[in-house]
Structure formats: C-alpha cells, structure tokens
C-alpha cells in the first residue's frame, strides 16, 4: 500500500507517531511504535507508542489536530491503552499534536472521565486540551529525580 492509498487523516497520524518516537528517542527513551497502530484490530491491545526510561513507562494514544479543537476518542481504544499501561505498570497518556502551533500536549488518561461518556466516543474538550501541560515538559518532570530522592537512594 502506497502512502497515496492511505487517507490523509491516517497519514497525519502516522507522521505524528513517527515524530513522537524520534523526539522521545532523542530524549534518551527506548521507544517503539505499535505495529498495529491505527489498524482495525479488535481483540489485541496495541498502544500507538510506548516509551521507557529510568524504569518509567509511558503508553501513548496519539491524536493530531491542525488547530486547537476538541477531540473524540473511541472508548474501546482508550480502554485498551489503559489496560496495556496497567499490565506494564506504566502511565497511559493522550498525546495531542497541534500542527499549526507546533506543540504537543499531554493529558493523563486517568484524568479523562470515561464513565461519563454517553456513547462509545469520549469527548476531550478544547478547554481541557488548552489547559494541559506541554508533553515534553510533563515527561521530563515525571522522570526527573529530586535531590532528596537521589540522596535517599544513594
């Protein structure tokens, strides 16, 4: 299948996933993009991206928007990311690439109220996205050890 056969939205998603993998790798993470990312696999549990560094595991569902706006996520898709993160003792994150602003946003999946959704699609409002932290700042903060933690462990 050539790239011209892939719908534009999926192609944008693939590019964003590859960009995220590259950026995380440059930050020193071991990173892998899910082999079935974006595929219609129903029984398997594949996140878009998994990153590991200093015993911290991040499991990503990646979304792309050209400009800031609300997004909708399939409930089952989000549940699979949560389950993968649980099994790996990792943190499930929604990573949102906003291309016009050249930024990435991070929303911890445990902050998304899945149970309140009335359909199989869960809405994450633009307001929630606007208030969310920069993805790379969030990750850097999570993997940084305070001086107290360093002294206690050494």
Residues annotated in the binding site, as ranges? 17, 48, 61
Q: Round to whole Å and give the CA distance between 142 and 56.
A: 8
Residues annotated in the binding site for Mg(2+), as ranges? 17, 48, 61
Q: Residue 45: what are its φ and ψ, rounded to 5°?
A: -115, 100
DSSP state of 99: G
The pLDDT of 75-104, averaged and rounded, is: 95
Q: How many domains does the chain have?
A: 1
116 included as an active-site residue: no
- Most confident range, picked from 35-49, 67-81, 95-109: 95-109
The tens digit of pLDDT for each residue in 114-140 reads 776 678 889 999 999 999 999 999 999
Give the pLDDT of residue 7: 80
Q: Residue 28: what are its φ and ψ, rounded to 5°?
A: 95, 10
Residue 134 CA: distances (Å) to CA of 32, 60, 66, 95, 96:
21, 14, 16, 9, 10
Give the domain range for residue 14: 3-153
Confidence of residue 1 (pLDDT cuts 50, 70, 90): very low
CATH number, domain with residue 145: 3.40.1350.10
In this model, does residue 92 exceed pLDDT 60?
Answer: yes
* Residue of 37, 70, 116, 144 with catalytic role: 37
Give the pLDDT of residue 6: 58
In this model, does residue 2 exceed pLDDT 70?
Answer: no
In this model, does residue 14 exceed pLDDT 70?
Answer: yes
Give the pLDDT of residue 56: 96
56-65 and 91-98: which strand pairing?
A: parallel
E strand or H helix that includes residue 58: strand 56-65
Give the pLDDT of residue 114: 76
């Amino acid at each position: 299948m050539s790239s011209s056969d892939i719908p534009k939205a999926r192609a944008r998603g693939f590019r964003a996933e590859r960009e995220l993998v590259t950026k995380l790798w440059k930050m020193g993470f071991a990173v892998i993009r899910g082999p079935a990312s974006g595929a219609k696999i129903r029984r398997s549990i594949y996140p878009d991206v998994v990153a590991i560094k200093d015993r911290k595991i991040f499991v990503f569902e990646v979304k792309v928007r050209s400009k800031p706006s609300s997004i909708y996520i399939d409930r089952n898709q989000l549940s699979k990311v949560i389950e993968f993160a649980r099994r790996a003792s990792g943190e499930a994150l929604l990573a949102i690439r906003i291309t016009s602003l050249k930024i990435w946003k991070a929303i911890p999946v445990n902050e998304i109220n899945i149970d309140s959704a009335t359909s199989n699609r869960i809405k994450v409002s633009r307001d929630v996205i606007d208030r969310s932290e920069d993805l790379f700042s969030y990750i850097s903060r999570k993997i940084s050890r305070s001086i107290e933690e360093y002294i206690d462990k050494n």
